[in-house]
Structure 1
Amino acid sequence: MSSLKVESLVCEYRTNPLGIDVRNPRIGWKLVSERRGTVQKAYRIQVAGPGEDFANLVWDSGRVESERSNLLAYEGPMLQPRTRYYYRVQVWDHFERESDWSAVAWWETALFSADEWQANWITPDSEAIDPQAAPVFMLCKEFTLKQPIRLARIYATAAGVYELYISGEKAGDELLAPGWTSYHKRHQYQTYDVTAQLKVGYNQIGVLLGNGWYKGQLTGFDNYTNLYGDIRACLIQLHILYEDGTEEVVVSDATWSSSTSPITLSEIYDGETYDARLEKEGWGQAGYDVGSNWSGTEIIDLPYTSLVAQENSPTRVIETIFPQSLIRTPSGETLLDMGQNMVGRIRMTLQAPAGTVIRLQHAEVLDKEGNFYTGNLRKAKQLVEYIAKGGGTESYAPHFTFQGFRYVKVEGFPGQENGLPLDAFAGEVIHSDMEPTGWFECSHPLVNQLQSNIVWGQRGNFLDLPTDCPQRDERLGWTGDAQVFIRTAAFNYHVGPFFTKWLRDLKADQGADGGVPVVVPDVITKKPVSESEAEMLSAAAWGDAAVICPWTLYLCYGDERLLADQYDSMKAWISYIRSQGDREYLWNTGFHYGDWLGLDAKENSYIGATPKDLIATAFYAHSTRLVRDAAVVLGKAEDVRAYSELLGRVIAAFREEFVTPAGRLAAPTQTAHVLALKFQLVEGNVRKRIAHDLNELVVQNEYHLTTGFVGTPYLCLVLSDNGYHETAVKLFLQESYPSWLYSITKGATTIWEHWDGIKPDGSFWSDDMNSYNHYAYGAIGDWMYRYIAGLDMDETVPGYRRICVYPRFAGSELTSAKATLLTPYGKAESAWHIEDNNILVQVVVPANSSAEVILPGAELEEVREGDRMVTASEGIHSARRSEEGVRISVGSGTYQFTYSMK
């Protein structure tokens, strides 16, 4: 057996993806080697058709001399729809070792064109069932299988949300399918393997069909409905391949039956009502007689050209947690405390007489007196009602809604006056099924809780798209929140497919003038808008998500194809900005959110004191720089020249407008200084002065911040990069308001929208806008991984092909830190520990990667790796003294560096 192995094969970021419509899918793998400095020299990919024995070889790349092992495109003959392809990989390394073939992996194509749809969009007969009726619809179709089958696939979607059942058993574990996209332009469908659920003889397909985002209540500012359409519908196409090779297709059409369901109300914001007495026993099972209580269906005209196969990971129940305690409030309410602000649903099990009504209401916090508090939900009810059918044990969880909550008020549960049985309730945590990829921990318990809060905030708000909050009547894909958090998001989870899907919706909803909606999918322009709302359709730092997000994904995953796909959208955003200002190189017109929720705002204002035109022009420069950099990657020489020239002019205009002749910023705010430094708008002595002034602003404010959504993500990064890391650490570890750790001292288990969502005296910020699960300020996680633990990348070699390890030590409150990241090449790690001025730094570099390690405060002759002098250790390419400390270049492997800090 070779000690060089190929493992963890993925196709389009995913393991064995079922139902993709990518014509040239990309393949990646990881090398496993016990030998330091392992680098791939060549690879070979084989792709085969039906059968895992590779007898039906479709494509053989042959031996390709390349170190690449990530996102390599299939280059064989045109793929066929509805076909499973198997693939395997073999590699050679620079030690002249040859690996065995990897384990076999696969991908399966879905439908490639609208012409392949034979099914019809159907909805209940409108003469029998009101299309606007509140109850969730039930649709079903019975069919007969005449002989044993080899395989069966269903391709399905809905105008609304749906669940699919085969003979009474749910197909797949996806929730809230088909997810939320810009439906008129991009409408996802799902693929289900139902081979094991079908049997010879009678079978039945059943569908539950709810409003969801398609036609339910959205944008709670005015509870507008029917944003994408006023009729729910489903589209179902079942392909059956019999053992004898013949095929049969069962489709949705006018022969299906329909009825209303026991779910009498289901809305994203309001919750769900389920009357178990209305259950239709045997529905969905073979032989069920629809009878006279059922109606027919009718075909409606909805498009097929907008249909795309599932692009991101589906929404699922990811974890189950249980109530930690039972609370009796001063006002007499009975509450479950889940111990964690979560997003999902409660599943309850009970025995009760028929007609018993159990009500579950969900909230995030308790008020100052310890009572149940729902004021911050605004119009969202977050209410689940269950009406028991009686006669035995019943179990229920909502189908087409989700709640953001820590506390659950329970009313009507049998025997409640004597206390609630905690084991009758379970919290099912729901979000997009992203792979966890990053872990951070350190010696400070409050910081570890902060990391937990950041992760839980991401989980709660990454439910099919990056939402602003999961509890109140909003839950929209705010672009500003997404762009400030995306780098942190990519540490905690693999967000490649998640953001790929969302960015395609951003591009679809981008205006003809290049303007980018402030929320994606764009629901603001889907409803009648006032003149003031129309001005809010694009804004600096929000619309810049069109540029920042694809560039960040390119850095984190090396995804050049996504960068190319989004490039026109990126350019269009710059064109939009360029057309806005009354001076070509300044953006000084239009509506802007500014430094949203900045603490230096005027009384009764949400917008911080930093001039909005300074912020807008700074982002103008930043996005122009990133588009220029993208043009370099994509080999667009003319664009490189044009955007380089534009960048120079915007920077010159910024300096002329906002920097005094003496080298000070005209705006004396923390955020203004942060943006000027982070976006490289000043240089030389002016940069040094502005960095000094920023440090003074923080110190003079007793190591507290005044920044909002725009300045906060970069504040500690800028301080650390400009020689003030000690200030950044003191600011970061601040526990009094305003600070990251303040909310933790008040019991937070997720990130708050406001620094003082709960004030020191226990009172609240205004009900109007006070989410306790709002991930934007969790962007500090990026700095925690990269600067505290010291795990970063060389951005000139994207995707962590070359890792940078540079832990920054400051103060005595942090004595250890560790960051682990599953990169496209494998596990990378930076961990350090200080004891009595002796420092241990452990570094893990995955095979086919390398790293630059900086040991601050070290002397070259004193650094040891393991039991050897660093210069004599295997895997060390070079070691030298530098301004920062000792700089060491290493190949793959695990290293332990020890030294005494000077």
Structure 2
Amino acid sequence: MSKKGILLVLAIQFIGLMAFAQVQVTNLLVENRMEPAGIDKQAPRLSWQLLSSKRNVMQTAYEIRVATDLKSLEKGNNLSWNSGKINSEQSVYVPYSGDELLPGTTYYWQVRAWDNQGKRSKWSEPSHWLTGIKDVDNWKAQWIQVGFEEEEGRPSPLFRKDFSSAKKVKQAVAFITAKGVYEAEINGQKVGDACLAPFWTSYNERLQYQTYDVTELVKQGTNAVGVTLGSGWYRGNIGFSGQVNVYGSELALLFQLELTYEDGSKERIVSDDSWKSSTGPIVYAELYHGETYDARLEKAGWSTPGYDDSAWSGVEVKDYSKDILITTENEPIRKKEVFHPVEILTTPEGDQVIDFGQNLVGWVQMKVSGNAGDQVSITHTEVLDKDGNVYLESLRSAKQKNTFILKGESVEEFEPHFTWQGFRFIKVEGYPGELKPENFTATALYSDMEQTGSFVCSDELVNQLQHNIQWGQRGNFLDVPTDCPQRDERLGWTGDAQAFARTATFNFRVHSFFDKWLKDVAADQYDNGGVPFVVPDVLRNGQVSPGWADVATVGPWTMYLAYGDKDLLAQQYESMKGWVNYISSVSSDDLWKPDFSFGDWLFYRPFDDNSGMSAVTDKSLIAQAFYAHSTQLLIHAAQVLNKQDDVTKYEQLLKNIKHSFVQEYMTPNGKLVSGTQTAYVLALNFDLLPEDLREQAAKRLVDNIRTYNTHLTTGFLGTPYLCHVLSRFGYNDVAYELLMQKNYPSWLYPVTMGATTIWERWDGIKPDGTFQTPGMNSFNHYAYGAIGDWMYRVVAGIDTEAENPGYKGIQIKPHIGDQLSHAKAELKTYYGTVVSGWEKVGDKLKLNVSIPVNTNAIVYVPASATSAVTESGKQLADVSGLEVVGHEDGYVVVKLGSGAYQFESN
């Protein structure tokens, strides 16, 4: 290459580097989601991220512009909002402040930013959001039901209507909901990609509708819309007592299609008495029991124009309320990962079984050829028994069985619609011919949360534990945080959710997921402030339990810490306050002794229950501990929301609660009346003991752990905090020992037994291959996965500052253990990806850290002295923009800004 050519290449490379060095704006979000549909807020909050290869980069100003079409946006004309240059480092939750937003309208937006070097970014790539119906008065559709008497088994009804579009369509937006679950089609194509819409809320108080841009589906001329309904949560079998028709006994549809033509005129297609109804091939569908699909009953072309529906029935218009209708603010349930068979086997009992290698939640798709009337059934199970046979007892009454009846035409494909299963194995019966792996796939279903966290380390069993934690969350975060996804339960148990909430925020972006569900917590909260066991509350027994109902305070505060969303905290504040006030109202002398309590659910009991080693914790002690915890969280919320009167009131209450705890449950020398691990963990984690007695309490905790040969004995309420307390009080080595234990009871015992999700019980499968009691033995039950929070925040060391939540202020403080040679965590925040990874190399420790633009961090580098630490090969004093701010318990404490850093210490 000539000298001139070399110079040209170098110049191009330099320009590229300079372009990346300049701050870039990316990852535009509206109300925490990328390009969402159905935004009903007049001032939706806009967020973005900044990218730069430089260190210590902060935003100093931004400018946003919004328009209803891309051309106007790019030219800066006819804008709905132009913020102008705003001097601010805020890049998360910036409220829209432009013209009034119109319903069913797409808004395009972009942003540019200035950094602390005075450099201005280019405009970001445009993003957009679609508004919802916005006001109940904008609903012109009518609720409709079938016009015929339903058959036994309640087959899924079909609704259809032909309509004409006389002009060229510029935009078509559909608003749909149902009493039940639905799938909609326009001209034979499915509307959207969600499953089981409108999902599950407290239907009597809040029924979600969905908004879809269906412009590509509607054509000029004749069109048709068709909608299939299923029983779903609305009237199907829900709960473990055979409940049906919990919210109603009849399904109904509400459909509204808004057409905007190129000439600006509009037309509306709505559900009314002109629609027709019938039934089709889904002859049975229940969430727990499965779906029966008779392909012989398919009505070919029923959702396309020109279909002959003369034999169909009419519909009945119903005057159901629309006042409870709300837009869908969280991520829909979608089809996600696909699994192929890893083994096809014949069991000792002669069953044909397919193993997909992963315990998942979703359904199986099948290809099959046979004769009309041939019937193939698929029964789903999580495990095989010790002899290798299909094990179904732990499903209780849930059938988990899908049946497909062939129409006898070439290759047919089956996929369920209005059910789902929790399984790893399937038993196939009636399949004509040989089972071949290419004819079966399993698809995972869950709320379409973005995966935000990862954790890897030098121990493969711990890595598998992390895998199991994430898959437990996937399977049980199907619109509500369920306890389990397979047996006749699948309810939003509040105790499981509060125990796992912080772990959940690391692995996936659950901001909108919890925002939606916590609104249902408030909606189903009793008038006296009590909070049900499950939400949505289908049990309706009026009871509360400590550690379960506390999700009312734990949930909002945890989401605030993880996402920095003050609006969510304000939204839930009265619910938080109502719960604490309820406890006060049923307490005597600030001492809560509840009428009912689940206690430390599923705590350790040895195989020999007469050994005297069962870890039973006094239930009233637990109640008092959570009373204090919820009161403290309420105080934190009141401080953030500047409710000073409440701060003063509840700070005094908290003093009284702690005093009553000490008086009732602690001897003068600091011994608790329950000597269990959970008792000491809760007392220490919630700061219930006098400071001068905490160290000896921690020692008692460790002594107890040693009594069990360094094994945990905690249940649902003690487990989330166990290792945190040990690390906090200087017993990090014991915490690591607990993590690394491989025999029962421990986190790794299920891993050694082949688990691919978290079990409900520490010993769901015993060492001899037999099972725990089948009445309560789920193999996908995420609560014990709460150890993940300790792995991420303590082992890897990634945390947020409480005074700068949502990782605007970041803390990196890894705790090194002898059992691992390296560990690394990554977390996608609203500001960018935070990384903390450490590795032992000989007698040195390497710590690699990455901090997003527009944030700051405090990094704790494990080292005895500043002189023992280098960053990118330089002494810390020689590193620009980095400040040593102290030394603490074997760490050199460093303050720094954005960028990638490579620390090394002796």
Normalised to the residue count of structure 1, the TM-score between the two structures is: 0.96
* 2:493/2:534 contact within 8 Å kept: yes
- Deviation at residue 64 of structure 1 after TM alignment: 2.1
Aligned length: 882
* 1:361/1:408 contact within 8 Å kept: yes
Counterpart check, 1:791 vs 2:813: no
3-state SS of paired residue (1:644): helix
3-state SS of paired residue (2:446): strand
Q: Which residue of 2 aligns with 1:744?
A: 751
* 1:550/1:563 contact within 8 Å kept: yes
- Deviation at residue 53 of structure 1 after TM alignment: 2.3
Q: Which residue of 1 aligns with 2:635?
A: 628
Query: Of residues 676, 682, 685 in structure 2, which corresponds to 1:669?
Result: 676
Query: Of residues 710, 713, 719 in structure 1, which corresponds to 2:717?
Result: 710
- Deviation at residue 192 of structure 1 after TM alignment: 1.3
Q: Which residue of 2 aligns with 1:370?
A: 388
Q: Which residue of 2 aligns with 1:112?
A: 134
3-state SS of paired residue (1:65): coil
- Deviation at residue 76 of structure 1 after TM alignment: 2.7
RMSD: 1.5
Counterpart check, 1:644 vs 2:644: no
Q: Which residue of 1 aligns with 2:320?
A: 302
Quote the Cα distance in structure 1 between the aligned partners of 2:377 and 2:238. Answer: 23
Question: Is the alpha carbon distance of 1:236 and 1:598 closer, same or farther for their aligned partners in structure 2, counting shifts above 3 Å?
Answer: same
Q: Which residue of 2 aligns with 1:6?
A: 25
* 2:863/2:905 contact within 8 Å kept: no
- Deviation at residue 732 of structure 1 after TM alignment: 0.7
Counterpart check, 1:762 vs 2:780: no
Quote the Cα distance in structure 2 between the aligned partners of 1:606 and 1:686. Answer: 26
Q: Which residue of 2 aligns with 1:443?
A: 458
* 1:91/1:99 contact within 8 Å kept: yes
Counterpart check, 1:99 vs 2:104: no
3-state SS of paired residue (1:548): helix
Question: Is the alpha carbon distance of 1:78 and 1:244 closer, same or farther for their aligned partners in structure 2, counting shifts above 3 Å?
Answer: closer
Q: Which amino acid aligns with 1:677?
A: L
Counterpart check, 1:520 vs 2:535: yes
Query: Of residues 886, 889, 894 in structure 2, which corresponds to 1:888?
Result: 894
Q: Which residue of 2 aligns with 1:261?
A: 280
Q: Which residue of 1 aligns with 2:92?
A: 70
Q: Which amino acid aligns with 1:597?
A: L
- Report the more deviating stretch, 603-612 or 87-96: 603-612
Quote the Cα distance in structure 1 between the aligned partners of 2:728 and 2:500. Answer: 19
* 1:144/1:201 contact within 8 Å kept: yes
Quote the Cα distance in structure 1 between the aligned partners of 2:690 and 2:523. Answer: 38
Counterpart check, 1:855 vs 2:861: yes
Q: Which amino acid aligns with 2:548?
A: W
> Could you give the per-residue CA deviations for residues 284-305 of structure 1, whole angstroms, max 9, x where no partner exists?
111111132x111111221100
Quote the Cα distance in structure 2 between the aligned partners of 1:608 and 1:592. Answer: 16
- Deviation at residue 683 of structure 1 after TM alignment: 3.4
Runs of 4+ in 1 over 6 A off after TM superposition: 604-607
Quote the Cα distance in structure 2 between the aligned partners of 1:36 and 1:376. Answer: 55
Quote the Cα distance in structure 2 between the aligned partners of 1:586 and 1:179. Answer: 40
* 1:596/1:606 contact within 8 Å kept: no
> Could you give the per-residue CA deviations for residues 26-81 of structure 1, whole angstroms, max 9, x where no partner exists?
11111111110001112222222344423222222222222211112122343222
* 2:72/2:79 contact within 8 Å kept: no
Q: Which amino acid aligns with 2:225?
A: I
> Could you give the per-residue CA deviations for residues 541-587 of structure 1, whole angstroms, max 9, x where no partner exists?
10100111011111111000010010000000001111112x14111
Query: Of residues 547, 551, 564 in structure 1, which corresponds to 2:553?
Result: 547
Q: Which amino acid aligns with 2:592?
A: W
Quote the Cα distance in structure 2 between the aligned partners of 1:607 and 1:353. Answer: 58
> Could you give the per-residue CA deviations for residues 334-369 of structure 1, whole angstroms, max 9, x where no partner exists?
100000000000001111111111010000001111
* 2:594/2:623 contact within 8 Å kept: no
Query: Of residues 288, 309, 318 in structure 1, which corresponds to 2:307?
Result: 288
* 1:113/1:305 contact within 8 Å kept: no
* 2:61/2:87 contact within 8 Å kept: yes
Query: Of residues 167, 170, 191 in structure 1, which corresponds to 2:187?
Result: 167
> Could you give the per-residue CA deviations for residues 613-664 of structure 1, whole angstroms, max 9, x where no partner exists?
1111100000101110100000111111111111111111111111111111
Q: Which amino acid aligns with 1:673?
A: Y
* 2:468/2:755 contact within 8 Å kept: yes
**What are the residue-to-residue correspondences of 1:836-847 with 2, within 5 Å?**
836-847=842-853
3-state SS of paired residue (1:672): helix
Q: Which residue of 2 aligns with 1:343?
A: 361
> Could you give the per-residue CA deviations for residues 782-840 of structure 1, whole angstroms, max 9, x where no partner exists?
000011111112122100011111111122x2000000000110010000110222111
Counterpart check, 1:570 vs 2:576: yes
**What are the residue-to-residue correspondences of 1:35-434 with 2, within 5 Å?**
35-54=54-73, 55-125=77-147, 128-130=148-150, 134-220=154-240, 222-292=241-311, 294-416=312-434, 420-434=435-449
- Deviation at residue 21 of structure 1 after TM alignment: 1.1
3-state SS of paired residue (2:583): helix
- Deviation at residue 877 of structure 1 after TM alignment: 2.6
Q: Which residue of 1 aligns with 2:598?
A: 593
- Report the more deviating stretch, 197-206 or 373-382: 197-206
- Deviation at residue 682 of structure 1 after TM alignment: 1.4
* 1:379/1:472 contact within 8 Å kept: yes
Quote the Cα distance in structure 2 between the aligned partners of 1:177 and 1:313. Answer: 11
* 1:131/1:232 contact within 8 Å kept: no
Q: Which runs of no fewer than 5 residues in structure 1 stay unpaired?
A: 526-532
Quote the Cα distance in structure 2 between the aligned partners of 1:603 and 1:864. Answer: 55
Q: Which residue of 1 aligns with 2:511?
A: 496
Q: Which residue of 2 aligns with 1:558?
A: 564
3-state SS of paired residue (2:794): helix
**What are the residue-to-residue correspondences of 1:482-493 with 2, within 5 Å?**
482-493=497-508
* 2:863/2:869 contact within 8 Å kept: no
Quote the Cα distance in structure 1 between the aligned partners of 2:130 and 2:594. Answer: 50
Q: Which runs of no fewer than 5 residues in structure 2 stay unpaired?
A: 1-18
Q: Which amino acid aligns with 1:341?
A: N
Q: Which amino acid aligns with 2:119?
A: R
3-state SS of paired residue (2:224): strand
Q: Which amino acid aligns with 1:198?
A: V
- Report the more deviating stretch, 563-572 or 67-76: 67-76
* 1:270/1:383 contact within 8 Å kept: yes
Q: Which amino acid aligns with 1:14?
A: R
Q: Which residue of 1 aligns with 2:661?
A: 654
Q: Which amino acid aligns with 1:519?
A: V
Counterpart check, 1:731 vs 2:750: no
Quote the Cα distance in structure 2 between the aligned partners of 1:611 and 1:62. Answer: 60
- Report the more deviating stretch, 846-855 or 814-823: 846-855
Q: Which residue of 2 aligns with 1:580?
A: 586
Quote the Cα distance in structure 1 between the aligned partners of 2:114 and 2:723. Answer: 43
- Deviation at residue 606 of structure 1 after TM alignment: 15
Quote the Cα distance in structure 1 between the aligned partners of 2:885 and 2:72. Answer: 48
* 2:25/2:51 contact within 8 Å kept: yes
3-state SS of paired residue (1:817): strand
Question: Is the alpha carbon distance of 1:133 and 1:538 closer, same or farther for their aligned partners in structure 2, counting shifts above 3 Å?
Answer: same
Q: Which amino acid aligns with 2:288?
A: Y
> Could you give the per-residue CA deviations for residues 222-242 of structure 1, whole angstroms, max 9, x where no partner exists?
211100011101100011111
Normalised to the residue count of structure 2, the TM-score between the two structures is: 0.96
Q: Which amino acid aligns with 1:122?
A: I
- Deviation at residue 277 of structure 1 after TM alignment: 0.6
Q: Which residue of 2 aligns with 1:529?
A: none
- Deviation at residue 608 of structure 1 after TM alignment: 5.6
Counterpart check, 1:814 vs 2:820: yes
> Could you give the per-residue CA deviations for residues 203-262 of structure 1, whole angstroms, max 9, x where no partner exists?
110001010000001112x21110001110110001111111111101111111111110
* 1:435/1:494 contact within 8 Å kept: yes
- Report the more deviating stretch, 128-137 or 643-652: 128-137
3-state SS of paired residue (1:273): strand
Quote the Cα distance in structure 2 between the aligned partners of 1:584 and 1:254. Answer: 62
